[in-house]
Amino acid sequence: PCTPHSNSTYLFAYSNDFDNETVLEAAYTVAFNSYYNLNNTKNHFRFFASVRFDTVQDGEIYYNYIGSEFNKTVLSHLPDPSLSFSSSKTGSDILRVIDRFLKNSVAPVCGSTIFIILKRYPNEYEAQELLSRLQGFHVTLQTLISSEPSGGGTNFRVMYDLSINTNGFSGFSNKFWGNTYDGLANELDANYLFYAVNPTVSGTGSLILPPALVPEIDPNNNFVYSLLEINIQDHPLDNSFNSLNISFHDVATSNTQTIMHGRDNWQFKNANPTFYITSAYIHYGREQQVALSYNYSSSDPQHLQIRMFTKRGDGIQWIPFPN
């Protein structure tokens, strides 16, 4: 059976349209995080794979058992302009890459994560059949989408929607850098998803969200490190976002932890990301009340994502997919 504890694969997929530095930073970060985690028996990622896409000939998917080999593979397949599509109007072939991974017979597919950095947008406007297969295998997409595409279609939505509807994550930025990858690559450590919501807000206000629970019972009543991923807009960043705070309240201890994210965050000074990746510490085995406060200078609907992961997989079950 396919369970959250099944051995799985972490696939890094990168567009040939990026510069070498962008790809290298991501590869180094994934490789670094993989060294420790392959020795962690609680971690379900057993294979590390990579593929260069948006090339005239389909890029081969390389499968590695250890992070150092993964890193060498990416180093020997860095972006090469001579392999690029001849027309800037050609859409990205990322959907075909995902399809090929799902059909592979080398590495496990169940419960895998595909970490994608997307520079060229696809031409396709829907991928329902592919989504059904991704959901069937519980494969999640973590997709970072460039706000400054190199070409292709105008439709980033197909990748954004695939990511959200697999309980994955997607966000936009002008530039991807080390801290971006550090946050997402921490999923190699805290690799069990236990919270996924997609609230819609507008203007200024507050919202009570479903409670968060790490199901494992801890007799010592310890806090647990959780990876927290937040995305504040479902399109490249505009000027309407001002701030967003998310709080976790433990009724038993009356302890409240608040994560604050605002326009004055240093990240906005050089990249305009729509996503914020940080950590939260919550108790094992006790529901945490979750609340959101937000400030947008627009009445337009803002579609958000909030994801939380834990290192400890005991009691973890698959989270239902969005309707």
Q: Are residues 168 and 202 in the same domain?
A: no
- Partner residues linked to 15 by β-bridges: 53
Q: Has residue 58 been placed in a domain?
A: yes
Structure tokens belonging to residue 70? 């993964």
As a whole number, mean pLDDT of residues 24-39 equals 80
Say if CB 1 and CB 111 are below 8 A apart: no
Residue type, 157: R
User: What is the span of the domain harbouring residue 24?
Assistant: 8-188
CA dihedral of residues 95, 100, 101, 102 (deg, nearest 10) = 90
Nearest to 14 by CA among 197, 107, 150: 150
Rounded CA separation 213/280 (Å): 13
pLDDT of 179 reads 67
pLDDT of 91 reads 95
pLDDT at 185 over 90: no
Rounded CA separation 10/132 (Å): 20
Confidence of residue 313 (pLDDT cuts 50, 70, 90): confident
pLDDT at 281 over 90: no
Q: Are residues 87 and 142 in the same domain?
A: yes
At which of 133, 159, 188 does a domain end?
188
Nearest to 74 by CA among 88, 83, 82, 64: 64
Say if CB 143 and CB 159 are below 8 A apart: yes
By percentage, how much of the chain surpasses pLDDT 70? 95
Q: What is the pLDDT of residues 214-238, one digit of tens each?
A: 887 766 767 778 899 999 999 999 9
pLDDT of 36 reads 66
3-class secondary structure per residue, the chain: CCCCCCCEEEEEEEECCCCHHHHHHHHHHHHHHHHHHCCCCCCCEEEEEEEEECCCCCCCCEEECCHHHHHHHHHCCCCCHHHCCCCCCCCCCHHHHHHHHHCCCCCCCCCCEEEEEECCECCCCCCHHHHHHHHHHCCEEEEEEECCCCCECCCCHHHHHHHHHCCCEEEEECCCCHHHHHHHHHHHCCCEEEEEECCEECCEEEEEEEEECECCCCCCCCEEEEEEEEECCCCCCCCCEEEEEEEEEECCCCEEEEEEEECCCHHHHCCCCCEEEEEEEEEECCCEEEEEEEEECCCCCEECEEEEEECCCCCCCCCCCCC
Q: Are residues 87 and 126 in the same domain?
A: yes
As a whole number, mean pLDDT of residues 161-181 equals 89
Nearest to 78 by CA among 97, 57, 52: 52
pLDDT at 160 over 70: yes
Burial of 147 (0-12, 13-18, 19+ CB in 10 A): middle
Select the highest-mean-pLDDT range: 27-41, 219-233, 246-260. Answer: 246-260
As a whole number, mean pLDDT of residues 59-80 equals 88
Confidence of residue 67 (pLDDT cuts 50, 70, 90): low
Q: Are residues 113 and 253 in the same domain?
A: no
Q: Are residues 183 and 235 in the same domain?
A: no
At which of 153, 188, 223 does a domain end?
188
Q: Which residue has the higher pLDDT, 28 or 94?
A: 94
pLDDT of 219 reads 67
**Number of domains the chain is built from:** 2
pLDDT at 23 over 90: yes
pLDDT of 176 reads 86
pLDDT at 142 over 70: yes
Q: Which residue has the higher pLDDT, 88 or 293?
A: 293
Whichever domain contains 228, its CATH number is: 2.60.120.380
In sign, the C-alpha dihedral spanning 274, 279, 284, 286 is negative
pLDDT of 37 reads 65
Q: Locate tokens 């608040």: which residue?
A: 258
Q: Are residues 216 and 233 in the same domain?
A: yes
Select the highest-mean-pLDDT range: 28-42, 193-207, 215-229. Answer: 193-207
For 174, phi then psi, to 5°, come to -70, -30
pLDDT at 190 over 90: no
Q: Are residues 177 and 215 in the same domain?
A: no
Q: Are residues 202 and 178 in the same domain?
A: no
pTM of the entire predicted model: 0.95
pLDDT of 64 reads 85
Q: Are residues 61 and 131 in the same domain?
A: yes
pLDDT of 38 reads 65
At which of 170, 188, 206 does a domain end?
188
Q: How many CB atoms lie within 10 A of CB 138?
A: 21
Q: Has residue 175 been placed in a domain?
A: yes
Structure tokens belonging to residue 127? 């991928």
